[in-house]
Chain A
Amino acid sequence: MGDPALLEPPPPGAIQVDTTSARSTARRETVRLLMRRPEFLIGMGILLFWVTCAIFGERLAPHDPQLPNPLFSHAPPGSDNWSYVLGTDRFGRDVLSRVIVGARDVLIVAPIAALLGVTLGTLLGLVMGYYRGLLDDVLSRVVEAFLSLPVTLVALLTLVMLGSSTKTVVLVVGVLFAPIVARTVRAAVLSERELDYVQAAKLRGENGPMIMTREILPNITGPIIVELTVRVGYAIFTISTLSFLGVGIQPPSPDWGLQISEEYSMIINGYWWTVFFPSIAIASVVIATNLVADALQSVLQR
Chain B
Amino acid sequence: MLRFIARRLALAIITLLLLSLIVFAISNVLPQDVGRSILGPFASQETVDAMNHKLGTDQPKLDQYLHLLKQIVTFDFGDSFQTGQPVSDLIKTTLQNSAKLAILALVITVPLGIFAGTLAALRRDTIVDRVIVMFGLAGSSLPEFVTSTFLVVLLGTQLHLLPPLANWPPGSNIFEQIHYLLLPALALVLVYFGYIARMARAGMIVALESDYTRTAMMKGISRGTVIRRHVLRNALLPTIAVVATSTGYLFGGLLAVELIFNINGLGRLLVTAAKAKDLPVLQAGVLVIGIIYMFATLIADILISWLNPRIRLGSEG
A–B contact with Cβ pairs below 8 Å: the answer is: yes
Which residues of A are interface residues toward B (Cβ below 8 A)?
141-142, 144-154, 156-158, 160-163, 233, 237-238, 240-241, 244-247, 257, 260, 264, 267-268, 270, 272, 275-276, 279, 282-283, 286-287, 289-291, 294
Determine whether the beta carbon of A156 is less than 8 Å from that of B274.
yes
Identify the interface centre among B22, B149, B249: most chain A CB within 10 Å of its CB.
B149
Identify the interface centre among B21, B145, B256: most chain A CB within 10 Å of its CB.
B145
Nearest B residue to A146 via CB reads B22
Identify the interface centre among B15, B157, B271: most chain A CB within 10 Å of its CB.
B15
Q: Could you say which residues of chain B place their CB within 8 Å of the CB of A147?
A: 248
Stretch at the interface among B180-188, B289-297, B307-315: B289-297
Which residues of B are interface residues toward A (Cβ below 8 A)?
11, 14-16, 18-19, 21-23, 26-27, 30-31, 34, 37, 137-138, 140-146, 149-150, 152-153, 157-158, 164, 248-249, 251-253, 255-256, 259-260, 270-271, 274-275, 277, 282-283, 286, 289-291, 293-294, 297
Complex Cα distance A209/B287, Å?
Answer: 37
Q: Could you say which residues of chain A place their CB within 8 Å of the CB of B158?
A: 272
Determine whether the beta carbon of A279 is less than 8 Å from that of B149.
yes
Interface secondary structure of A, over-half rule: helix
Determine whether the beta carbon of A241 is less than 8 Å from that of B141.
no
Determine whether the beta carbon of A237 is less than 8 Å from that of B18.
no
Determine whether the beta carbon of A247 is less than 8 Å from that of B274.
yes
Q: A152 contacts which of B27, B252, B293 (Cβ < 8 Å)?
A: B252
Q: Could you say which residues of chain B place their CB within 8 Å of the CB of A161?
A: 26-27, 30-31, 34, 37
Q: Could you say which residues of chain B place their CB within 8 Å of the CB of A146?
A: 22
Given A148-B293, A245-B256, also A287-B274 (CB < 8 A): no
Q: B146 contacts which of A145, A153, A279, A290 (Cβ < 8 Å)?
A: A279
Determine whether the beta carbon of B19 is less than 8 Å from that of A245.
no
Q: A272 contacts which of B15, B18, B153, B248 (Cβ < 8 Å)?
A: B153
Determine whether the beta carbon of B15 is less than 8 Å from that of A144.
yes
Q: A160 contacts which of B15, B274, B290 (Cβ < 8 Å)?
A: B274
Nearest B residue to A239 via CB reads B143
Nearest A residue to B157 via CB reads A267
Determine whether the beta carbon of B146 is less than 8 Å from that of A283.
yes
Q: Could you say which residues of chain B place their CB within 8 Å of the CB of A144?
A: 15, 18
Q: A287 contacts which of B18, B138, B270 (Cβ < 8 Å)?
A: B138
Determine whether the beta carbon of B290 is less than 8 Å from that of A149.
yes
